[in-house]
Structure 1
């Protein structure tokens, strides 16, 4: 969510912060007015010119940090496992032997999946997430699911 995006149905944290600070400022200001405090108007200046921009800025910073963390998580989920191994090796987290062993295991796993995929593809089928096979027309083969 970008700071310039319109309201999308869920209450952004900036709107919540704005409403809370506005309510608090009005309550304090009118409370001071009713109490007979001569300089009650200072509550409005402090609330609307000081606390409100600070609260909205903090809310935006929080939302942007959460968005970056979410984006980083999605990026990590979509990262190539071999590339991740290379990065860990470059940072010194893996020894030469450990790196070689993991790369071989990764390539063996990928080769096995590709062989199974090519074999089933030759018959017009593809594997599904639950281990069954599916023909090109979308009909599952292999197990019965009532």
Structure 2
């Protein structure tokens, strides 16, 4: 495993660190009774954090995210309005991620990052939809 220097880790986590500092700054202002805490919150999250993300963000991760978002393989099959049967059942985002990793399109680090993001962003509705798709597939078999 590659050992990163503190400056490399700082650069890799600049957006997260900026978010933490902005949060600490406005929260300290709020708790000490400063009247400008709301302005600090708004400026911090609307200006400072996005600028830090643009300057130090991982462009490869952003590019991969956008590619995944617009990739037709990620889109769940559509439903015909006349019946409730799906016309097409495509692979789930997790299946796409596994396939791309197995095909060598993603490094170990990219796979782990995308897997963490996928698991963090799965909502209750997403989980229910995934379970429904899995049940439908089981019925088809």
Compute the TM-score of the two structures, normalised by the length of structure 2.
0.32
Tell which structure's C-alpha radius of gyration is larger. 1
Compute the TM-score of the two structures, normalised by the length of structure 1.
0.31
